[in-house]
Homo-oligomer: A and B are copies of this chain.
Amino acid sequence: MTSWTAHPSTRLHRFVAVQRITGFLLMIFSFTMVPPIVVDQLYEGTTTGPFLTALWITFVTGAVIWWPARKERAELKTRDGFLITVLFWAVLGIFGAIPLILTHAAWHSYTDAIFESVSGLTTTGATTVARGLDDLPHALNFYRAQLHWLGGMGIIVLAVAVLPMLGVGGMQLYRAETPGPMKNAKLTPRITETARVLWLVYVTLTAVCGLVYYALGMTAFDAVIHALSTLATGGFSSHDASIGFFQNPILEWAVMLFMLLGTINFATHFAVWRSRSVRSYWRDSEFRTSLSVILLFSALVALPLILTATFSDPLVSVRKSVFHVISYGTTTGFTTSDSSVWPSYAPLMLILAGFMVGCAGSTSGGVKMVRLMLFVKQAMREVKRLVHPSAQLPIKLEGKVVDDAVVYAVGGFFSVYIGFTIVLTFAMISTGLDPVVAFSAVSACINNMGPGLGPLAGSMAGVSEAGKWILIFTMLLGRLEIFTLLIVLNPGFWRRW
């Protein structure tokens, strides 16, 4: 309250500036209805009306929010980034649901439509469409993939610029590596500059991915939407059978490659781009560790498949294992078969991969491999300390000493992540799900991965209304790396905002 009385205008001005940004964002977002309209005109021509209506609703709402604040030029502070980030996913998540509702195609309630929209924008890729993706109007499948891709644009900026700046869960580690004018303490110029550079990388990778998919036999339409979905590590597909639809092993290896590219830190992509040498990929110790874990998990998953002869050819078992470990690990969530019925620990090991493998600064969800590395190093340091109580034991990453504050922030992040996973799993069990299925649903959503187990392997349609809202919250919580959302929901944030 003191700071409110002390600087009322500053606080109010900053709030109005956030209002201006939110309105402007909605106005821009309304134009993302144009590409689906174009797609609709090329194909069925049945959904142009709904998309046009959604465009106008979104644009007018945005304009009404923006207009009274349009002249506000107050400079935003770093911590305003928390609020803008939460608004980005929450507000766009709601408005993104409008065309899904209006088309009356597959979403029969606001809950289902908002679930699908939030699942798209958070790049989770869990769908509420029980069956029949192949029969949806092309415009809707395009729109879903586009939501992924737009969400991915937001995440890249969030992960490379916003989270390091805000220091969420130890991500201050990456402050120095953010491209753009980093010494600048102001929010807007830094983000604008960073976004420009990284989006160029993102657009280029998506374009290359689409061309490769097309060259390997996808239709132009499928190539476009699966490229959008891959680089966003999203997982929406235009086919119920996902990548399995194409029955094309070569294509599957290509999908694996681009999913891996989608999970690399975009600052590393930028370094490769600038140096014109792929050596930076190998120098990225987080990505190297991810690859090692993918190899280990692929071997562990392939083992029961081969032993029980799940597929007649052991080499098929290996390819299926590698594909699914990469798909779940990068939190993309594409499938080539129903891995939820695989024997022994295989299905749960895929879910475990979703927590661990994704890299920071990418579109992947999950705890992030770099946090896990710091966490393991911290645990090993505590063991060493018991044997050598007086030894100095700094934790290093790529040869550089990591500040203890980062290590401990990671510990805090990890505990909160585990805590929410447990509490949300209990909440989902109370909605009537079996424990393993409930855990799989929460893991699929908090890691922004997508597919669950058992009745939720194909879609989340079988979840109750209450359960869907819990999962909508879970997807946002995971995408916003928990703390970003917690802070905005915390009264202390508003008192000193």
CB distance from A147 to the nearest CB of B (A): 28
Complex: how many Å from CA A169 to CA B166? Answer: 30
A349 touches B415 (CB 8 A): no
Question: Which residues of B sit under 8 angstroms from A345, Cβ to Cβ?
Answer: 426, 429-430, 435
CB distance from A401 to the nearest CB of B (A): 16
A385 contacts B by Cβ under 8 Å: yes
A387 touches B430 (CB 8 A): no
Chain B, Cβ-Cβ closest to A345: B429
A369-402 to B contact mask, C-beta < 8 Å, 1/0: 0000001101101111111110000000000000
A496 contacts B by Cβ under 8 Å: yes
Q: Which residues of A326-343 are within 8 A (CB) of B?
A: none
Chain B, Cβ-Cβ closest to A172: B389
A415 touches B379 (CB 8 A): yes
Complex: how many Å from CA A349 to CA B408? Answer: 28
B167 touches A435 (CB 8 A): no
Question: Which residues of B sit under 8 angstroms from A383, Cβ to Cβ?
Answer: 412, 416, 483, 486-487, 490
A352 contacts B by Cβ under 8 Å: yes
A413 contacts B by Cβ under 8 Å: yes
Question: Which residues of B sit under 8 angstroms from A493, Cβ to Cβ?
Answer: 387
A156-169 to B contact mask, C-beta < 8 Å, 1/0: 00000000001111
Interface of A is mostly: helix
A422 contacts B by Cβ under 8 Å: yes
A436 contacts B by Cβ under 8 Å: yes
Complex: how many Å from CA A378 to CA B378? Answer: 15
Question: Which residues of B sit under 8 angstroms from A376, Cβ to Cβ?
Answer: 415
A196 contacts B by Cβ under 8 Å: no
B386 touches A430 (CB 8 A): no
Contact of A413 among B166, B344, B382, B492 (CB under 8 A): B382
Question: Which residues of B sit under 8 angstroms from A384, Cβ to Cβ?
Answer: 492
B388 touches A487 (CB 8 A): no
Contact of A389 among B167, B169, B375 (CB under 8 A): B167
A interface list, Cβ under 8 A from B: 79, 82, 166-169, 304, 344-345, 348-349, 352, 375-376, 378-379, 381-389, 404, 407-409, 411-416, 418-419, 422, 426, 429-430, 432, 435-436, 483, 486-487, 490, 492-493, 496
